[in-house]
Structure formats: structure tokens, C-alpha cells
A and B are shown apart, each in its own frame.
Chain A
């Protein structure tokens, strides 16, 4: 039991840190993947990246060219882009501050220190001259925050809401990644080369884990199975949903009935878990992924309604996928 407003702040802090990390990782993979690619592949790759991050439309409205510099700057530090890394981290910090007395001082300092360092850097120069170092810094900082949280937060409801946001964001991201990468192949009419799928795995930080499990294979069915259904890989959709399911159950410990978020999640999870990947690839993967994404979003909406009771105040997906952005000072 905790203050509803605090639960919401922690939920969004988790989402925003996960989003910053995912954005940095995918930027890194896209940028470095293109160094060895044919020039005409570039525009396509940047467009896909924006789609995965759900920012293709806001970017299109800027009417800038689809180039490494424009997309990277938009995703790293454009102050008008609430999904940019600096905005996500700034918002995570404001949300952490709003729940300041619930999180450990170490966790607060990790988030605040990250925010301050990000602000003090010359990001335009970093994007231009040493992108790998910059994205590495963002990833490491997010991972450190996750580590500090794991090591210093009591496993109470506050922890659970932080993790709920974190895992739901990650699940969504992986679903969208698969969807975009797969639909690209369908339209191109090919099964996709080795590099295409390797990049997909790297975007989810899963190439090494995949290799250990499937050895030399780069069969699309294996990649889809791995990213959707692995029980051991922490970025697979099933792994995230199971984590969410556990946290929801603990929130409702002692309650005789399943809460609405649990019911929606249970349905979504079982639709996923008992899937036959080969069968799925015969049919329309896109339709399935679309349903899966909608299931994950409904869980988030149900959590908001059940625990934050703020559905009227902000429809969390309609306007702004990045959360009630506390104004960044």
C-alpha cells in the first residue's frame, strides 16, 4: 500500500530509464551497422529506428532529412522531443524527485548524477565525434541505476511499481522491434540476411545469448522465438510479462480475486506462451504482434486505472507515450 501519486511517479521513472537505455542501444546498433552497409540502406534504417521508438510521426513533422545527424540529434537531445534521451532522463529524475522519500539516497543520486552529467556534456559534439562512447555512457548509467535500485530498494510496493513500468516499457519495445524488422522483410520480399537479424538481436542486446542457445543458426523463426518466448533472456517479451505477472500478484497478495490488470495480463501472456513459432510464421506475424502490443498496452492502462486512478487526468497512451512529463527545469 502506498500513495497513488508516488506509485505513478515510480512507474514512469522505470519506463523512462528503460526508454533512455533502449534508445541509446538502438542508436548505437543502427549507427555502427550502417558503417558497413550500402548507402541506400541508411534512410530505411533510420526510418525503422524511429518506428520502433514510436517517434516516426513527430520526426516527419519536423521535415528534416532522414540522415544520421538529424535523427541522432532528434533522439538524443532535441528539447522538443519528449522521447529524446535527455528528456526521458530529465523526466525520470523529476519523477524520482516526486517520490524522493521512497527511494534510497543511492538510487536518487545515481539518477540525479546521470541527469547532471548528461546536461553538462556537449551532446552535439558527442553525437558527431564519438557516438559509441556517448551511447555506452547512457547504457552504463541506466544499467547502474537498475543495479543500484536492485541492491538498495526494499521489495515493497514502490519497487513493484518501478519494475512494472520498467518491464512493460521493455516488452513494448521488443514487440515493436520485431514488428518493424519483420515487416521490412515482408515488403522487401526476402527472408533477410544474416546481418539483418544479427542487428535485430543486438538491438535487444541479445546476440550473444542467442548464439549460445541456437549456435550458428540465423533462421528468422529462431530469432522470433528467442525474442518472444525465451524464458531465460531478460529482454524477451515472455520474460518481461512473467516479471510483470509476479509483481502484479504480489501487489494483490491476500486478495481473493484477480484484479483487472492481472486478468488482462494472464490472457496476453498465455496467448504468447503457448504459441508455435513456425505456425505463426506461416500466417501473419504482424497481426499477432499487433494484438500482443495492444495487450501489453491494455495492461498498462489497467494498472493506471486500478492503482493510480488517474485515467481521466491523462489517458496515458492517447497523447503522449512518454508519461506525465514533469516539467523539466
Chain B
């Protein structure tokens, strides 16, 4: 029945998003497969060139450092969109809202509450205080409506049975949302007719939604029309494109540390006509670089006095300082308990079985089979420092074992999730490649999830690593509207 592009496509033994093990397209992929099967690989390669030229011209690039001078690369978008049917999305959405709500409650409890979660013995106190992401300097600084994590990026994977599982939470400065919007814009230009057969939920309201959420956390007593800015480390940061993109989508100023001054605990920006007060800062600078007075004193990216202004209630920093304690990978194992504790409900989304290596019992249980597990440092993101057991050499496993013995608090081990795969254009034909999904959750008037999110794809054959810094690409992600058009 399939005579064109999908000819000879083999999902192998993996869970394939588009094609069943019997070789037939899944129901929600039927129209797409039918449409694309009419393309020759040559035509698709031509579309890829159009796409690459468009991305370069638009400067949609990220900078890779480490090879001498930084190199601007485009983040490759695969031409085949990933499709999520309405019912699966409804489940994900509900689970994400629940998870982020609980995590915000947890953070507020730790920083401005009674730390009831610790006192009630849900999470050990030493685990909190030993977390690199826990910032004592943030203690007592409240955020209106408890929206400490105003933007969350929750990484979701799908296992061999097709079950969606949360892989990790990104509650500090999750990035990638600009690609969600740019990928969609690119798809509508490169393959416009493919949209004909689908009702795809739009994503381009992200900017206004983000702005509304930021305005809502403006300090009590601030101007009813608060001044919101985006704080970036500057043009040489790898995510600068995204920072400028978001400022443009919201129509607010994109500032650097040197554009801001703090005087008498009030933050202002230097304008052509003097100083102008700032009420809300969507900061895309890590905690430790934010304010040289309380954090790293060698930071030239930050603004001296920023934390004191936040403490005085004159400015809101978003996301709040200290969120790293909640996306610490050792705390991850406790999130199901946090959901039960704060919301009195069972977690809607599954997690990945996780072993806490400081716990002797758990450590002894897994230390002998690290070759079957994934080991991650607890405070890193972007896939840095992680070891995938099945593909690691004996000496790598031994080295990891020694690091674990030396500092067990710093590592977790997880069962390998056999990530689902998706047909992906490789040279002139389709091959299955592993993917994940990062939906973006906004805490405004209500907790809102932008339909879909960023689907990242491991472009190297067999690779499970999807991070853009390590050879990953992306896909436009379609959430289909249900019969009611939502």
C-alpha cells in the first residue's frame, strides 16, 4: 500500500510514533503518511534546502563554543512533524498542570512557608540543604501568587510500550520555546499543503500569554501598567536568539546587566531619557550570575543589588531564585510524593524508575548493574556528565563507579527508557530516530500548557541524546484539535 517515501521503512522493535509494528500508519498519522508518500526524496531534499536558507537568513541560530571562536549553527528541524492526538494531549496536559502546581507549592513551602514538607518527613532536610540549587539567599523572598516557577519545561519521553513518562523537570531557565514557534512558522512555509488534512492547534499566542503571566507577578503596589523586561547575558550567549525573540514577541525591552541599576532597592534601566523603573524581570541568567553582591562576585553579567531589591518587594525576578532545588535530579524521585502531599491526588503522569545512590540499600542494589542503567549528576542539565550504561565502555563504568562512591549524593541511576522513535529524513530516505518532548507550562491566571512543545530528535543513529548541544535536532509538534476544535 505504501509505495513511496515510506517504502522499506522499518520501525524495528521500537515503539514508533507513526507506524505500527505491523507496518501500518497509526490512525492519527494516516493523512500525513498518505500526503508525504507522494513526495520523492529529491523533492523533500529540495524543501530542506529552502528551510535551511530561511533559518540562516532569519538568523535562527545558536552558538556552539569550545572550538575556539563560537560557531553559529542552525538547529536542524526535521521535515516530518510529530503528531499528538487530542486524547493523548488531554492526558499530558492534565498531568503537567498537576505536576507544576505541586512543584510551585513545594518551592513556596521551602522558601516562604513553614517547610512543612520537611517537618512532615516527606523529603529529608539534608537532601534539601545539600542541593546545589537550594539558595539560602532566596529564603523569605516571596513571589506574588506563589508563581515561583512561572515557566517550566518538563521533559517527557515515551517508553517501549508507548507510555508517556516524565524524564526531568526544568524549572530554572528552560529554553527552546522559540524553536516551537519558529518551527511552526517554517513548516507552514516549507510544506503548507500538509496542514490541509489536519486541525493543528496554534502555538503563536505564547508571547502574549507569557507577558500576561509576567505582569501578574508584578510586585504589590507597583504601577498598574508594570514595566516588564527580559534580562539576557548578551549577544554571545548561545540562547541569545531566543531572548531577543521573546522580547520581540512580548514587545518589551531586552536588557543586559549593564543596562540596569539598583538605587535604594529600586531597579531601573538606563534609557535615552534617564532612568526608568522596572517592575518584573524575566531573567535568562543563571542564579549564580544574577547579583555579584550575594552570588559570584566575578559576575559581570548581573546587577549588583538585584537580590536586595527583590527582597524589598520592589521587583519580581522570574523564574524565582532557588528553583534549582526542585529540579535537582535526586528530588525528582520525590515528586510523586509531593503531588500526593500537596494536592492529595495520585500523580497522573508516570516517572522513570529512579535509584538514589546515597541510600546504601538502593546503591548496593544497582551498583553491580550500572551497565544496564543511566547515571546522571543531579544538578546538571543539557545532558552533560551523564552516562548511558549499555553504550559505555568498561573503563567508563568503573570511573563512574568511583565517582559515585566518592560522592553518592551527587548521582542518581535510572532504568534505561527505550525512547520511542519517529520517522526522520536521513539523507534521501526515512529512518527511525529517538525523540522526546519538552512542553512549556506557564503559570498565569491559570496554569497553561502551550499545545505540543519542542520535540527533540537524536539525529545520530541509535543515539538516545536529544540535546541541541550534542547533535540533536527538532520537529514541529502538532497537537490535533478534537471535535470541539480545542
A97 CB contact (under 8 Å) in B59, B259, B276: B59
Which of A2, A157, A161 has the largest count of B CB atoms less than 10 A from its CB? Answer: A2
Would you give the shortest CB distance from B351 to chain A, in whole angstroms?
Answer: 38
Nearest chain A residue, comparing its CB with the CB of B249 = A101
A5 at interface by CB-CB < 8 Å: yes
* B271 CB-CB contact with A under 8 Å: yes
Asked if A113 lies at the interface with its beta carbon under 8 angstroms from chain B, I say yes
Name the segment of B19-27, B213-221, B250-258, B445-453 touching the other chain: B250-258
The number of A-B residue pairs with CB atoms under 8 Å apart is 64
Distance, CA A108 to CA B269, complexed state (A): 25
Report yes or no: A112 in contact with B276, Cβ–Cβ below 8 A. Answer: no
> Do A109 and B57 form a contact, CB below 8 Å, given A1-B272, A2-B272, A101-B247?
yes
Contact residues of B between 236 and 294, Cβ < 8 Å to A: 240, 244-245, 247-248, 253-256, 258-259, 269-273, 276
Q: Describe A's contact surface by its main secondary structure.
A: helix
Please indicate the chain B residues that have their CB under 8 angstroms from the CB of A105 in the complex: 58
| Chain B residues within an 8 Å CB radius of A263 | none
A3 and B269: CB pair below 8 A? Answer: yes
B486 is an interface residue with CB less than 8 A from chain A: no
B235 touches A5 (CB 8 A): no
Judge whether A94 is part of the interface by a CB distance below 8 angstroms: yes
Give the one of B56, B235, B254, B272 with max A CB within 10 A.
Answer: B272
B38 at the interface (CB under 8 A from A): no
Contact between B72 and A3, CB atoms less than 8 A apart: no
Tell me if A221 counts as interface (CB < 8 A to partner B).
Answer: no
Which of chain B's residues have a CB closer than 8 A to the CB of A308?
272
A217 CA to B391 CA, complexed, in Å: 83
Determine if B272 and A307 form an interchain contact, defined as CB atoms under 8 angstroms apart.
yes
Task: Name which residue of chain A comes closest to B229, CB basis.
Answer: A3
**Does the CB pair B270–A112 fall under 8 Å?**
no
Question: Contacts A3-B259, A105-B58, A112-B58; is A309 near B235 (CB within 8 Å)?
Answer: no
Task: Kindly state whether residue A224 has any CB partner on chain B within 8 Å.
Answer: no
- Is A281 part of the contact surface with B, judged by Cβ < 8 Å? no
For the complex, what is the distance from the CA of A1 to the CA of B253, rounded to whole Å? 11
Cβ < 8 Å to B, chain A residues 126-145: none
**Number of residues from A at the complex interface, CB < 8 A:** 26
Q: Is A178 in contact with chain B by the CB < 8 A criterion?
A: no
Q: Are B255 and A3 in contact (CB under 8 A)?
A: yes
Bound together, the chains give a CA A3 to CA B257 distance in angstroms of 12
Structural contact, B276 and A1, CB atoms closer than 8 A: yes
Residues of A within 8 A of B407 (CB): none
Which residue in chain B gives the minimum CB-CB distance to A116?
Answer: B56
Contact of B271 among A3, A108, A109, A326 (CB under 8 A): A3
> Which of B72, B235, B276 has the most C-beta atoms of chain A within 10 angstroms of its own C-beta?
B235
Tell me the chain A residues, 296-323 only, with Cβ under 8 Å from chain B: 307-309
Task: Enumerate B23-60 residues with CB–CB distance to A below 8 Å.
Answer: 56-59
| Interface residue? A258 (CB, 8 A) | no
Instruction: Give B180 Cβ to nearest chain A Cβ, in Å.
Output: 17
A251 contacts partner chain B, Cβ-Cβ < 8 Å: yes
Which residue of the partner chain, among B58, B70, B244, B270, contacts A309 with CB atoms under 8 Å? B270
Q: What chain A residues lie within 8 Å of B256 (beta carbons)?
A: 5
Chain A residues within an 8 Å CB radius of B254: 100-101
**Contact mask A230-265 → B, CB, 8 Å, 1/0?**
000000000000000000000100000000000000
CA distance A6 to B56 in the complex (A): 23
Question: Is A109 within 8 A of B272, CB to CB?
Answer: no
In the complex, whether B484 has a CB less than 8 A from a CB of chain A is: no
* Distance of B322 from chain A, by nearest CB (Å): 28
CB-based nearest B residue for A161? B272
A287 at the binding interface (Cβ < 8 Å): no
Q: Give CA–CA (A4, B63) in the complex, Å.
A: 26
Closest to B253 in A: A3
Q: Residue A113 contacts which of B57, B70, B235, B259 (CB distance < 8 angstroms)?
A: B57
Which one of B57, B240, B247, B272 contacts A157 once the chains associate, using CB atoms below 8 Å?
A: B272
Contacts of B63 in A (CB 8 A): 329
List A contacts of B58 (CB < 8 A).
105, 108-109, 112
Chain A 62-106, CB-CB to B under 8 Å as 1, else 0, gives 000000000000000000000000000000001001101100010
9 closest A-B pairs (Cβ-Cβ)? A101-B247, A100-B244, A101-B248, A307-B272, A4-B270, A101-B244, A1-B273, A7-B272, A101-B254
